[in-house]
């Protein structure tokens, strides 16, 4: 028997998530408070519920740590200026309040710098006929939040057509941007571009980090994002915007790639949905299917709905309800949000999580094969041209990095996930 929409909701009641209740049993009071303020505006009822939660003891140091991780300290500072949250504000220690205010001030100054630099670089690349789609960061703040200072932004992300990546890279280097990764040969750089989706840069004088994308996810994820179509549908201009349906899918892919560990990323999707009342949901599902990310998108939509509530048509709720295993994955997301970790130290768990979101066994096998078999740029050197030497080097490097026991655990997890 097919699972109903009510069953999907019931499957997650163990988490006791009520988006309009600031006191959420099952969640830490710190995470519950951050979830409560993860919206641009608060109703009187929501403010009353948040104020009532001030009666619960909070670990203020942990609140600051979680708020910084989730990128919500600027938004928390914004809401704390609301007189309707007087009870909560009265409970906050002065040093905590100062940390929150400083976080917004620093973010605001940083966003001003990023915004000006993004415009300058977009103009520079436009002079050389290189189109740019700003990705995440400052442009999402402008597009969805309406205020650069409300969304915590760390760096500049821009997407350019893959064929123009090398040219864009050269112009950025002329502007003083230094690559984070240095290559010893053209073969090594080719291995990098085959394996990765971006070049990372830093500007030592301006203290700006920049990521130059030609994609948003590594090839080993075995998805099929149609970038020519995304570019064709994007809004023309100095800084192009993706069509909302494309952006929704891209944000869901980005979120699952990082375990949906940041509330900021979930709020981005929620705000995009709210800002697009005429979202073409049929196109979303069709493109997600064609790009081999339909289950990834449905899970992302479920995460948004369960944590922040969202308005979906019946077709989306029916699609989510049909996949009865999706709610069970919320355990992993909530655990990561409560106790954020360096995902690089939890490679096996992240791989297994991503593999569980593949719809078909062949997709999971393709993912596993590419994870194990794709050469890293560090596996390629100028001295050896035969591929078997590169694979031997890969094996030795992975054992040296993770240890034999850890490698066996990773292989076991991958095997179970397939």
126-178 pLDDT, tens per residue? 999 999 999 988 999 999 999 989 999 999 999 999 999 999 999 999 999 99
Residue 22, pLDDT above cutoff 80: no
- Residue, of 4 and 25, whose pLDDT is higher: 25
Q: Which residues contact 384 (CB under 8 A, 6 or more apart)?
A: 390, 393
Enter the tokens of residue 48: 């009353």
Q: Residue 185: which of 409, 377, 388 has the closest Cα?
A: 377
Q: Provide the residue ranges of all domains of the chain, joining segments of one domain with +.
A: 111-214, 221-340, 360-418
State how far the Cα of 385 lies from the Cα of 372, in Å rounded to an integer: 20
Residue 25, pLDDT above cutoff 60: no
State how far the Cα of 107 lies from the Cα of 113, in Å rounded to an integer: 10
Task: Enter the CATH code of domain 111-214.
Answer: 3.30.460.40
Confirm if 184 and 382 have CB atoms less than 8 A apart. Answer: yes
Q: How confident is the model at residue 372 (pLDDT cuts 50, 70, 90)?
A: low
Q: Which residues contact 123 (CB under 8 A, 6 or more apart)?
A: 238
Q: How confident is the model at residue 11 (pLDDT cuts 50, 70, 90)?
A: very low
314: how many CB neighbours lie within 10 A of its CB? Answer: 10
């Amino acid at each position: 028997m097919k699972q109903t929409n009510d069953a999907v909701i019931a499957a997650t009641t163990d988490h006791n998530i009520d988006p309009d209740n600031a006191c959420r049993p099952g969640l830490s009071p710190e995470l519950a408070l951050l979830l409560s303020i993860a919206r641009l505006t608060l109703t009187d009822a929501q403010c009353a519920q948040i104020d009532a939660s001030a009666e619960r003891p909070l670990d203020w140091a942990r609140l600051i740590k979680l708020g910084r991780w989730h990128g919500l300290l600027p938004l928390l500072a914004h809401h704390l200026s609301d007189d309707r949250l007087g009870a909560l504000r009265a409970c906050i220690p002065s040093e905590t309040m100062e940390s929150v205010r400083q976080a917004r001030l620093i973010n605001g100054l940083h966003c001003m710098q990023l915004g000006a630099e993004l415009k300058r670089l977009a103009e520079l690349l436009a002079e050389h006929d290189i189109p740019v789609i700003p990705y995440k960061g400052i442009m999402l703040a402008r597009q969805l939040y309406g205020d650069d200072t409300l969304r915590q932004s760390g760096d500049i992300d821009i997407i350019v057509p893959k064929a123009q990546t090398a040219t864009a890279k050269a112009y950025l280097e002329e502007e003083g941007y230094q690559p984070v990764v240095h290559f010893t040969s053209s073969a090594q750089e080719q291995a990098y571009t085959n394996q990765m989706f971006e070049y990372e840069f830093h500007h030592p004088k301006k203290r700006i980090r920049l990521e130059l994308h030609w994609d948003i996810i590594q090839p080993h994820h075995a998805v099929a994002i149609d970038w020519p179509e995304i570019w064709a549908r994007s809004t023309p201009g100095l800084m192009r915007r993706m069509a909302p349906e494309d952006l929704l899918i891209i944000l869901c892919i980005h979120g699952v790639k990082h375990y949906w560990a940041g509330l900021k990323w979930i709020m981005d999707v929620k705000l995009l949905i709210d800002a697009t009342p005429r979202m073409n949901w049929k196109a979303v599902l069709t493109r997600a299917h064609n790009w081999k990310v339909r289950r990834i998108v449905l899970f992302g939509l479920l995460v948004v709905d369960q944590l922040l509530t969202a308005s979906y048509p019946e077709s989306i709720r029916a699609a989510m309800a049909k996949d009865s295993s999706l709610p069970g994955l919320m355990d992993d997301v909530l655990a990561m949000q409560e106790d954020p970790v360096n995902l690089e130290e939890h490679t096996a768990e992240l791989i297994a999580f991503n593999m569980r979101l593949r719809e078909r066994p062949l997709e999971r096998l393709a993912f596993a094969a590419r994870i194990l078999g794709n050469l890293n740029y560090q596996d390629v050197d100028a001295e050896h041209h035969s591929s078997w030497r590169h694979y031997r080097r890969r094996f030795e490097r992975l054992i040296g990095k993770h240890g034999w026991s850890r490698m066996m655990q990773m292989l076991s997890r991958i095997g179970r996930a397939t």
